[in-house]
Chains A and B, each alone.
Chain A
């Protein structure tokens, strides 16, 4: 058993941390207010290979493993949660399913631009009437000659407003229930594909969250990902992997909050002394640090399971990591705000943003409730 990061993981951590502290930190609070998509930084990160962390070198990626992916997402999210999500989606929700289920042609065509950020990735599962219940989706795709004709609306799509390559799910055969869902790779300039409402979010506000509208959109037949009916499997498989990322976001955001809280507690005075002298403050800090540590171990372990190919356990491990880390992040950032007192409720301090950023973790890519269902199902098998 070995809990140490490897040499390359340690180096990656150092470089990503230094990049985040220098390049991301200055813009993080601004893009939270403006909602502006951080293209400059995304391009810079692409040059370093952060947009294709898990993609093999031959497709333009960096060819690291999933623990490394978690380390990188954690370091990015520690400074800027929005950027962390953008990078995570490009890696796990888009590049990963193409890598895993795509044809050689699809990989050669779509992975290099995803890695270089020439085209960013987004993934569309959720619909106005289908969130947790994925199989309730209403989008359909019908094969006509050489094209699938896609109709439907996807809601809440991260990177949606800025992406060039989309992995989108729709029914090719409604009668087969979830076994009739298929996955497609869709380019931004596809006829019949338009962007809908841009969401004003509570947190992760610079993630170009947008509705995708397909009205008789013509998708070339060869852009089917996997086979017809593989969609649900691709979706679940992909979400398993991306749960590592969400867990890493949670750990990163929380780590950032803890560091801020420690700093502040050593500066702020009340009743004639530093608030760090108060045992209740110390108690919160101790809890926060322990919670983060536990979550980090769960997340790295989920990544380790994926890397070592321990599939039967992996689904549950990933769900546990995501569920625990998401709850942890909301609690830890809440405590950070608490330690700041009233100042923590103002936009003058980062913890206010971190608290808002953390909340999404309990919601997307499966709510906490859904995660508990997944975990329990494994337990009760």
Chain B
């Protein structure tokens, strides 16, 4: 089973202050930490589990700037056999569509049975790379996977729908799947695996290999802005004792319990 996993390195913004850069179109990145996108970690682990079961190879691909080579090496340490970085610095502005085009330009020449991507990248939150890429490659896809089982050339997968409901579908491979968090428990890389991965070369692909002529941007960011406040929250300040009293007072007054 030859598997390709698409991996993105994203800023960790859940608990960080996010500021808009002077262009108004990007964020200030220098004080943020970066790591592998959360659902990509699950996608990578799912690939490793399949490889452990069926043998084969895993190729990790990232369209990114050179900083992301650390992230690709982590993928190598966790079970990928080779890593490819498509040089983002060669291709100017990107959106989901152009990203998928670049990925497909590289992947179309590689043999694979399955492609995994995360179901969403936490920075731009498109949830569109997977299905777009599948369409460009002309293979079937399914998004939001919570389970996958491959029997010969048929995969039985569970997709997550809303409200706790799931659907079971059959898809013939080669196919592309986007992986939802919680599908497995991503492993830590062992030190030996890290040492082996550290020495491995990361294959670079750039404008010499991919023609820029056909690349299209579907969308561009016009401006970033702080979301308007939908509902005026009342922030209660004071010591824990004080805020607790006030909250209890509100709960009592409104008869909430």
Which A positions have Cβ atoms within 8 angstroms of B? 6-8, 10-12, 14-15, 18-19, 47-50, 53, 57, 62-64, 269
> Is B70 touching A7 in the complex (CB atoms < 8 A)?
yes
Chain A residues positioned under 8 Å from B73 (CB to CB): 7, 11
Number of interface residues of B (CB under 8 A): 16
CA of A47 to CA of B187 in the docked complex: distance in angstroms?
11
Chain B residues positioned under 8 Å from A49 (CB to CB): 190-192
A47 and B190 contact, Cβ closer than 8 Å, known pairs A11-B73, A11-B197, A15-B77: yes
Task: Show 21 residue pairs from A and B whose CB-CB distance is below 8 angstroms, ordered by the A residue.
Answer: A8-B194, A8-B195, A10-B70, A11-B77, A11-B194, A11-B197, A11-B198, A12-B191, A14-B35, A14-B70, A15-B77, A47-B190, A48-B189, A49-B192, A50-B191, A57-B192, A62-B191, A63-B195, A64-B191, A64-B195, A269-B237
> Is A48 touching B197 in the complex (CB atoms < 8 A)?
no
Identify which of residues 183-239 in chain B touch chain A, using a CB-to-CB cut-off of 8 Å. 188-192, 194-195, 197-199, 237
Chain A interface SS verdict (over half): helix
Chain B residues positioned under 8 Å from A7 (CB to CB): 70, 73, 198
A152 CB to nearest B CB, Å? 36
CA of A262 to CA of B79 in the docked complex: distance in angstroms?
37
> Is B188 touching A48 in the complex (CB atoms < 8 A)?
yes
CA of A47 to CA of B188 in the docked complex: distance in angstroms?
10
Which residue of chain A is the closest to B238 with respect to CB atoms? A269
Confirm or deny: B74 has a beta carbon within 8 angstroms of a beta carbon on chain A: yes
Chain A residues positioned under 8 Å from B190 (CB to CB): 47-49, 62
B231 CB to nearest A CB, Å? 24
B176 CB to nearest A CB, Å? 28
> Is B188 touching A53 in the complex (CB atoms < 8 A)?
no
> Is B188 touching A19 in the complex (CB atoms < 8 A)?
yes
Chain B residues positioned under 8 Å from A47 (CB to CB): 190
Interface string of B80-97 (1 = CB under 8 A from A): 000000000000000000
B196 CB to nearest A CB, Å? 9
A212 CB to nearest B CB, Å? 30
Chain B residues positioned under 8 Å from A57 (CB to CB): 192
A53 and B198 contact, Cβ closer than 8 Å, known pairs A7-B70, A11-B73: no
Chain B residues positioned under 8 Å from A53 (CB to CB): 191
CA of A19 to CA of B73 in the docked complex: distance in angstroms?
17
Which residue of chain A is the closest to B197 with respect to CB atoms? A11
B138 CB to nearest A CB, Å? 36
Chain A residues positioned under 8 Å from B191 (CB to CB): 12, 48-50, 53, 62, 64
> Is A15 touching B189 in the complex (CB atoms < 8 A)?
yes
Which residue of chain A is the closest to B35 with respect to CB atoms? A14
Leading 9 A-B pairs by shortest Cβ distance: A8-B198, A49-B191, A62-B191, A7-B198, A11-B194, A48-B190, A49-B190, A15-B189, A19-B188
